[in-house]
């Protein structure tokens, strides 16, 4: 069992994550001051760049989606107590599978072709998640190590394809040709870069919520995450569940990779992900494994990325590296906050037990 | 001789001679507890407990499981911070910050669960322990000297270079005692030290404790076996449900007085109401079953026995004699190395847990927190887990919350589980209710075959029920309820196997008793004609009958 699969009251969850983010912003402002920049001005510029116009919101959403989907997958695995650290690799495999469909299957017109590409991505991501799942289920190999190692395999394999066999001729940057429009996700908001991937990501969030709380699979998942030994004694199919959870986790990440290449980029590029899969771990934790919370945390991360890119444009003194600083600090404060919260909760329970028992006893003596 | 902190104003002469005189003469107070309160979620473990310990006495702390004995000693040793009350060591009030503090103030604690590192040698364990202390040279040779000294004084001989995992339980306990003594404690606390020892080892231990007491050490002994306690204690304090019931001198106490104080009223000795065992064909048959053990236990060697429907088979033995492993193997949780398990004529040796459940097997695991409950899930969800993925709780993979709730309500009513809100996490229940929850889950499990034949609803229907320590840590009322349920299952024709280390309980509950020791069956007896003394000897590994 781990403290992330323990879910306290929703309100407290939100509060802890919000406090963590605010504290991170406060700490980062110290860095900004040290760099001779007014934090207020900097943050205002960031908010402007992230939400100031329809286009800005579109940029933020575009940066949110590829972080949101793998985060949903990581949360799913973590509900079962499994750490899928390798979402980054599953993103690459998903994107590459989608690209393969876009490049080598006949054009069947828009919804069909795009759907096939997305399906290939889901399957590819699932396969990449399944490998650590199988090793964990049958050999007890830590999924942390295997999923992480598979990241490098996936990234290098994608790089090989775009630098070699799939390389578009006369290109300055390793990439495939632009995909045919029927394989791509259309823009759904005029005047912005927001594409159909946003809808898919929101749907995926709803699906995750339903699966975890309303299905037998979800109940078993949570049971395994809370007490695996008990579920083995209960006779639940723990091995199958472990494999299924890792595969499903990978499927979410794979879908995220496909949305990135079929939506925003329109082609498969070398190193197209700046570490979405790793940031997604932080997002899943900040969202406290709750789909709604994860959507919120992903938007915060998307806004930070969009904002810091805008900030760099506005002022040459600031590196866009301020975003990962804030993100990292937020996770650290979250961990501290969870620890503090746990202590407080324990103390509250103890006090309640004490007063309850006292009340009972005084009630008994009064009755007698 | 003593290195523990003495009060700064030397009102008393210090030194071994003075202490010896004190011990025999007017008692010198070493430790005083005043109004200790300690609450845990859902339970007030200690409620206003006061206690004194004098030099040279063996003060026994008696009480049923869950009476608060271990918690109280945990408070004294700095493991738990009391919510209220004072701890005074030789007149000085302590605010203990942890065990290291308690050790520095001359308190030693041999806990029931050993805190040894199995892969290290005895001497390394001792050097690394907090008891070894600051100011001592952190070297094996220095430690060796101290060990030789202890051996000369108390005859406590253990091979210092043996790895702890190679030692028998009794030897491991010796290491724990050495660890505690090495800090030269003024107060030595032992938690159920006799529970795991053979009769001979217990005798040796008592001799050691008497010697320590004669030297002026105050000893607190936690126990729940009356006869053992009466043999060694000079004073006895009885706790019941977190409160102190009485402190009396040992010569005023008898087993019946103490028993009454512990449980509140005399337990009516229940006669097993079984009809004489019918000559029914065995429901469960084990043939030369061999099961691997692990660090804590022996595993099972070549066990053959059988159980018929309508009987309760009790398995007695010391902890770690292979009983738990035996049940795990039958339940399908532990791999079988050799032999066969036959259930109702069918070989189930290599079937999955679920397949065994479908054939009517129910298993109550030994540790409800570790193996039984999914504490984060609600009571309703825990009960739903027993339903597998079958209707009406689950349809096409979707949970049916109303059916789940109905099932839970029926189980809660049927098994008298006290819950404030069935949607609250199972962790918040008291131990007895958690155990009833597991019992309800296992006994009302719906198997696909039975579902097909239309038998629904949470009525007990398992044909073979395996229980490992079903009443461990429960109070009297909860234990009685669980045992009553098991009898009811037996009367309805189920075969019940109960593992317990409490022989009295087994004698009361079971129709037939097997004794296991070292992974083998050492003897078998009809429970109604059993001779507890002979059983006790068998359990301790004495001459088998």
Contact B416/A at CB under 8 A: no
Contact (CB<8Å) A223/B377: yes
Residue A365 lies in a domain: no
Residue A102 lies in a domain: yes
Is cis: bond before B495, omega within 30 of 0?
A: no
Q: How confident is the model at residue B219, as a pLDDT?
A: 95
Residue A3 lies in a domain: no
Q: How confident is the model at residue A353, as a pLDDT?
A: 67
Contact (CB<8Å) A234/B353: yes
Cβ-Cβ contacts under 8 Å for B103 (sequence gap 6 or more): B130, B131, B133, B183, B185
List the domain range (segments joined by +) for residue A255: 10-354
As a CATH number, domain B368-459 is 3.40.50.300
Q: Which two tokens stand for residue A363?
A: 């009630």
B377: chain A residues, CB-CB within 8 Å? 219, 222-223, 226
- Say which residue, B53 or A363, is predicted with more confidence: B53
Tell me the pairing of strands B187-191 and B29-40.
unpaired
b or e along B53-84 (b: 16 or more beta carbons within 10 Å of the residue's beta carbon)?
bbbbbbbbbbbbbbbbbbbbbbbbbbbbebbe
Mean pLDDT computed over A319-327 = 82
As a CATH number, domain B29-263 is 3.40.50.300
Contact (CB<8Å) A215/B331: no
What is the pTM for the complete model shown?
0.74
pLDDT tens digits along B350-401:
999 989 998 899 999 988 888 999 988 999 999 999 887 788 888 889 999 9
The CATH number of the domain where A67 resides is what? 1.10.3470
Q: Which of B176, B165, B235 is nearest to B205 (CA)?
A: B176
Q: For the sheet with B336-343, list strands across it.
A: B300-308, B282-291, B336-343, B346-347
Q: How confident is the model at residue B24, as a pLDDT?
A: 43
Q: Which of A31, A64, A22, A23 is nearest to A311 (CA)?
A: A31
What fold characterizes domain B271-360+462-545? Rossmann fold (3.40.50)
- CA dist B485 and B494 (Å) reads 11
Contact B314/A at CB under 8 A: no
Question: Tokens 């919260």 appear where?
Answer: A341
b or e along B129-157 (b: 16 or more beta carbons within 10 Å of the residue's beta carbon)?
bbbbeeeeeeeeeebeebbeebeeebebe
Residues of chain B with CATH 3.40.50.300: 29-263, 271-360+462-545, 368-459
B498: pLDDT strictly greater than 80 = yes
Domains in chain A, number: 1
Contact B398/A at CB under 8 A: yes
- CA dist A319 and B92 (Å) reads 61
Q: Other CB atoms closer than 10 Å to residue B277's CB: what's the count?
A: 12
B41: chain A residues, CB-CB within 8 Å? 346, 349-350, 352-353
Residue A367 lies in a domain: no
A234: chain B residues, CB-CB within 8 Å? 353, 385-386
Residue A343 lies in a domain: yes
pLDDT tens digits along B262-273:
766 544 444 444
Q: Which two tokens stand for residue B288?
A: 């030369």
Q: Other CB atoms closer than 10 Å to residue A171's CB: what's the count?
A: 13
Which contiguous run of DSSP H or E holds residue A15? helix A10-34
- Say which residue, A254 or B95, is predicted with more confidence: A254
pLDDT tens digits along B437-478:
999 999 887 644 444 444 444 444 689 999 999 987 777 778
Share of chain A above pLDDT 90, in %: 67
Residue A328 lies in a domain: yes
Contact B454/A at CB under 8 A: no
The number of C-alpha atoms within 13 Å of B419 and in the hemisphere containing its C-beta is: 27
Contact (CB<8Å) B353/A222: no
């Amino acid at each position: 069992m781990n403290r992330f699969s323990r879910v306290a009251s929703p309100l407290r969850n939100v509060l802890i994550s919000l406090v963590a983010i605010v504290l991170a912003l406060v700490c980062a402002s110290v860095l900004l001051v040290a760099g001779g920049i007014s934090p207020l001005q900097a943050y205002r510029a960031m908010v402007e760049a992230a939400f100031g116009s329809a286009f800005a919101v579109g940029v933020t959403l575009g940066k949110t989606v590829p972080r949101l989907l793998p985060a949903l997958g990581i949360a799913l695995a973590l509900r079962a107590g499994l750490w899928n650290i390798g979402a980054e690799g599953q993103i690459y495999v998903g994107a590459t599978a989608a690209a393969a469909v876009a490049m080598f299957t006949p054009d069947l017109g828009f919804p069909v072709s795009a759907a096939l590409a997305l399906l290939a991505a889901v399957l590819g991501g699932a396969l990449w998640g399944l490998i650590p799942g199988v090793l964990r289920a049958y050999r007890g190999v830590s999924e942390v190590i295997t999923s992480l190692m598979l990241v490098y395999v996936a990234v290098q394999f994608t790089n090989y394809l775009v630098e070699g066999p799939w390389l578009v001729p006369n290109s300055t940057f390793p990439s495939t040709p632009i995909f045919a429009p029927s394989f791509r996700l259309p823009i759904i908001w005029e005047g912005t870069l927001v594409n159909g991937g946003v809808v898919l990501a929101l749907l995926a969030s709803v699906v995750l919520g339903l699966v975890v709380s309303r299905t037998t699979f979800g109940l078993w998942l949570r049971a395994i995450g809370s007490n695996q030994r008990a579920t083995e004694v209960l006779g639940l199919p723990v091995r199958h569940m472990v494999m299924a959870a890792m595969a499903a986790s990978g499927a979410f990440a794979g879908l995220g990779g496909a949305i990135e290449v079929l939506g925003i980029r329109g082609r498969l590029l070398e190193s197209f992900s700046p570490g979405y899969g790793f940031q997604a771990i932080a997002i899943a934790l900040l969202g406290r494994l709750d789909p709604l919370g994860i959507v919120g945390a992903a938007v915060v991360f998307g806004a930070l990325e969009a904002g810091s890119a805008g900030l760099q444009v506005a002022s040459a003194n600031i590196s866009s590296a301020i975003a990962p600083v804030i993100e990292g600090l937020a996770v650290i404060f979250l961990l501290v906050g969870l620890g503090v919260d746990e202590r407080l909760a324990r103390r509250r329970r103890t006090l309640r037990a004490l007063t309850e028992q006292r009340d009972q006893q005084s009630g008994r003596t009064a009755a007698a | 001789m003593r290195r523990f902190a003495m009060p700064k104003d030397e009102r008393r002469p210090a030194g071994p001679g003075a202490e010896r005189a004190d011990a025999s003469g007017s008692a010198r107070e070493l430790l005083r507890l005043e109004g200790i309160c300690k609450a845990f979620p859902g339970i007030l473990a200690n409620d206003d407990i006061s206690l004194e310990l004098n030099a040279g006495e063996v003060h026994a702390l008696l009480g049923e499981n869950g009476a608060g004995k271990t918690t109280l000693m945990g408070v004294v040793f700095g493991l738990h911070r009391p919510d209220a009350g004072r701890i005074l060591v030789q007149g000085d009030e302590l605010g203990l910050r942890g065990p290291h503090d308690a050790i520095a103030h001359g308190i030693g604690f041999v806990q029931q669960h050993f805190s040894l590192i199995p892969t290290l040698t005895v001497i390394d364990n001792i050097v690394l322990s907090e008891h070894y202390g600051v100011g001592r040279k952190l070297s094996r040779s220095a430690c060796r000297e101290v060990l030789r000294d202890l051996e000369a004084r108390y005859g406590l001989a253990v091979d210092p270079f043996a790895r702890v995992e190679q030692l028998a339980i009794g030897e491991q306990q010796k290491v724990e005692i050495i660890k505690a003594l090495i800090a030269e404690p003024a107060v030595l606390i032992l938690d159920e030290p006799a529970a795991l020892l053979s009769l001979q080892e217990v005798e040796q231990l008592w001799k050691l404790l008497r010697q320590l007491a004669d030297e002026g050490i105050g000893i607190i002994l936690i126990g729940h076996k009356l006869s053992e306690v009466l043999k060694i204690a000079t004073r006895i304090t009885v706790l019941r449900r977190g409160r102190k019931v009485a402190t009396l001198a040992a010569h005023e106490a008898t087993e019946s007085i103490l028993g009454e104080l512990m449980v509140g009223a005399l337990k009516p000795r229940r006669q097993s109401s079984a009809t004489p065992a019918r000559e029914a064909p065995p429901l469960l048959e084990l043939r030369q079953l061999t099961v691997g053990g692990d660090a804590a236990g022996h595993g099972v060697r070549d066990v053959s026995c059988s159980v018929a429907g309508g009987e309760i088979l009790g398995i007695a033995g010391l902890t770690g004699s292979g009983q738990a492993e035996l049940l795990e193997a039958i339940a399908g949780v532990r791999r079988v190395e050799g032999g066969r398990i036959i259930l109702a004529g069918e070989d189930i040796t290599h079937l999955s847990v679920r397949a065994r459940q479908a054939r009517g097997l129910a298993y109550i695991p030994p540790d409800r927190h570790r193996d039984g409950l999914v504490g984060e899930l609600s009571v309703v969800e825990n009960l739903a887990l027993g339903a597998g993925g079958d209707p009406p709780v689950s349809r096409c993979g979707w949970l049916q919350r109303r059916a789940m709730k109905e099932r839970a309500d029926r189980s809660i009513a049927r098994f008298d589980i006290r819950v404030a809100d069935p949607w609250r996490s199972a962790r918040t229940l008291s131990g007895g209710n958690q155990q009833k929850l597991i019992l309800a889950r296992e006994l009302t499990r719906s198997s696909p075959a039975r579902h097909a034949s239309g038998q629904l609803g949470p009525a007990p229907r398992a044909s073979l029920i395996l229980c490992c320590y079903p009443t461990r840590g429960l109070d009297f009322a909860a234990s009685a309820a669980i045992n009553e349920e098991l009898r009811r299952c037996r009367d309805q024709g189920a075969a019940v196997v109960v593992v317990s280390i409490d022989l009295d309980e087994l004698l009361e509950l079971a129709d037939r008793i097997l004794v296991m020791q070292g992974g083998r069956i050492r003897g078998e007896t009809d429970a109604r004609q059993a001779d507890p003394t002979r059983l006790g000897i068998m359990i301790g590994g004495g001459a088998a009958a």
